[in-house]
Amino acid sequence: MKTQLFILLSVALGLGAQAQNSATPQNYSWDNLPKVTRPVFKADTINIVKYGAVPDGRTLNTRFINQAIEDCNKKGGGVVLIPAGLWISGPIYLKSNVNLHVAKSATLFFTDDKSQYKIVEGEYEGRKVARNESPIFGQDLENIAITGKGIIDGNGDVWRAVHQSQLPPPDWKKKVASGGVVSDDGKTWYPSQQFKEASAQKKSMLLVPGKPLSAFEDMKDVLRPNLLVLNNCKKVLIEGVILQNSAAWCLHPILCEDLTISDVMVKNPDYAHNGDGMDIESCRNFIIENSILDVGDDAICIKSGKDEEGRKRGRPTENGIIRGNTVYKGHGGVVVGSEMSGGARNLFIENCSFLGTDKGLRFKSTRGRGGVVENIYARNLYMKDIIQEAVFFDMHYFVKFITDSERDTRPVVNEGTPVFRNMVFENIACSGANTALFIRGLSEMPIQNITLKNSVFKSTVGVELIEASNIHIENVQLHTNPSKPLVSVNTARNVTIDGLKYASGLGVLLKADGKDNQKISIRNTDTKSAKQALELTGGAVKGQVVFR
C-alpha cells in the first residue's frame, strides 16, 4: 500500500510539473515529428580579407572578423566569409541575420593568449558562474548560422589539466616538457601555476552577491570556456563544419528555439575533462542529424538546468530529433542528464551508430534534482564494443562539484524527486557490451513505463532491473555469459517479458532478489533450455514470478 501511494503521488507531481512547463501540448509521434524552422540569409557576402585579416597563422584577426560580422548585421545580414587559410582569432561575437561561413581548407584557430579572453558571467551545469569568454558567442539573436567545410579549433590544450594516467608514457613526457607545472605527487599536469593553486585550494567559480568578476582574476586559468555558446537564440543553423579541441564543452546552445545541427564533426581528445560534444540545454524544436562525434565526455547530451535553479527556470528540452549520427569515443552516445531539473520530453532518436562509447543510451539523475523526463523514443540504433551498458538508467548518479548547492536527499517524493517514464526503444542491435539493459530507480520513485522490443544484444550480462515499474521486454534476443542470470530483478513491479530468446546452456533464466518484487511475468519464452528457470534470493518467493 505504501509503495502504491508513493507511485500515485509521484505521478501527480510529474503531471503537475508537465502542466507547469507546457505551452501548447503536441501529440508527437514517429508519424508526426517536431518541426524545426531553418534560418534564411541574404546572398550578400563579406570577405574578412577586405577588413585586413591575414591567414598566416600569426596575425590576430579578432577585430577584423568581428567588424565584418557587425557590418553585415547593420546592412541587413548575409554571409561573412572566412576563406581558405590559417586564421588566428580571439573571441568572436555573432550577430542576427549573419551566416559565418568557414570555407573548405580554412582553419579558424583561437589564440592561446588568455589575456584576449575577458572573465564574464557564464553557465556551468545550470548555475551562474565566472568563465572566460567563449571563442564564439551569441546571445538574444535570431537567424544565425555557422556553416562551411572548414575547421574551428578551440586550442583547448592550453586550458586543460591532464592526469598522467590518461596519456601513454611518451605523450605524458611530451606534455610535461611543453611547459606548465606538475602536481606535487607528479600525477597531474597543469597549464599554469595559477591553475594548480586554484585547484588545490578548491576555489569556486560560482557567482555570489557582492563578489565582482574582477575577484576571479586569481583563478582565471581555471575558468575554461566552452567553444561555442548560444544563449536565447532563435532559428539557428550549425552545418558542415568541424568543431574541435575545446577547453570544455564543444557546443552549448541554451534556451534556443528552432536549432539545426547538421553534418558536423565534433572532436575532443579522450582525455579532455568535461570534453562533451553537444550539450542541448533547455532548447525547444531542434534537430541533430548526420554528424560525427569523437569526444572526451558525453557526446550528444540533453540538459535543462540543475536542482533548484533548473526547476525555477522551468524550461524543458523538448521536441527534438536526433538521427543519422555516428559516435565513436564518448561517455554516452545520447545522454539525458544529469542536470535535467527543468525536464526533457518528446525526443526522437533513430538511425544512430555508437562505436566504442562507454554507454549507448544513457539516462542519469539523482535525489534533489527534480524534473520530469518522458516521451523518449528510439529506434534503429546500432552499437558495437560498448564498454559498459548499452541502455542505462541510474537515479543514483552524483558527482560533487564546488558549485553545487545543498540538495534534499531524503527518500521522499517532493519537488526534488526526478521522474523518468514513458519511453520506447526498438530495433537495437548491439554487438558487445558489459550489460544490455540496466535500470536503477529510487525506492520512492521507480523508473516507469519503459518498453524494449525487437532487439538483439551480445553482452556479458543481460538485464538488471532495480526499483523499476511497468517494464516491458518484447521479442528481444540476449546472447550473454551463460554463468550470469539472464534477467535479474530487485524491487521490480509489473514486469512483462514476452518472447525472450537466448542460447542454450544458460545457468539461470531469471533471478529474483528481495521480497518486494511484484507481478513478474515471463511469456512465450523457452524455460527448458536453461539449467534453472528461476533463482530466488534475499527473501524472494516463487509467487512473485509467473511463467506463462
Helices and strands (H and E) in the chain: how many: 5, 42
Q: How many residues does the chain have?
A: 548
Asked if 87 contacts 107 with a C-beta cutoff of 8 angstroms, the reply is yes
Distance CA 75, CA 44 (A): 9
Cell of 528: 527448458
Strands 78-82 and 435-440: unpaired
E strand or H helix at 388 = none
Q: How far is CA 49 from the centre of its chain?
A: 37
331 catalytic per annotation: yes
Exposed, middle or buried, 505 (CB in 10 Å: 0-12/13-18/19+)? exposed
Residue type, 210: G
Residues 331, 358, 394, 513: which is the catalytic one?
A: 331
Q: Which residues pair with 182 in a beta bridge?
A: 189
Torsion of CA 295, 298, 303, 309, to 10 degrees: -100
Residues 297, 298, 307, 358: which is the catalytic one?
A: 297
Residue carrying C-alpha cell 539557428: 236
Distance CA 457, CA 384 (A): 10
Residue carrying C-alpha cell 582553419: 107
Q: What sign does the dihedral 238-244-246-248 (CA atoms) show?
A: positive
Alpha helices in 193-306 (DSSP H): 193-200
DSSP per-residue letters across 48-111: GGGGT---EEEEE-HHHHHHHHHHHHHTT-EEEEE-SEEEEES-EE--TTEEEEE-TTEEEEE-
Looking at residue 252, the DSSP 8-state letter turns out to be E
Asked if 473 contacts 496 with a C-beta cutoff of 8 angstroms, the reply is yes
297 catalytic per annotation: yes
Query: Which region holds residue 18: left if phi is over 0, alpha if psi is between -120 and 50, else beta?
Result: alpha
Question: Would you name the residues annotated as active-site residues?
Answer: 297, 331
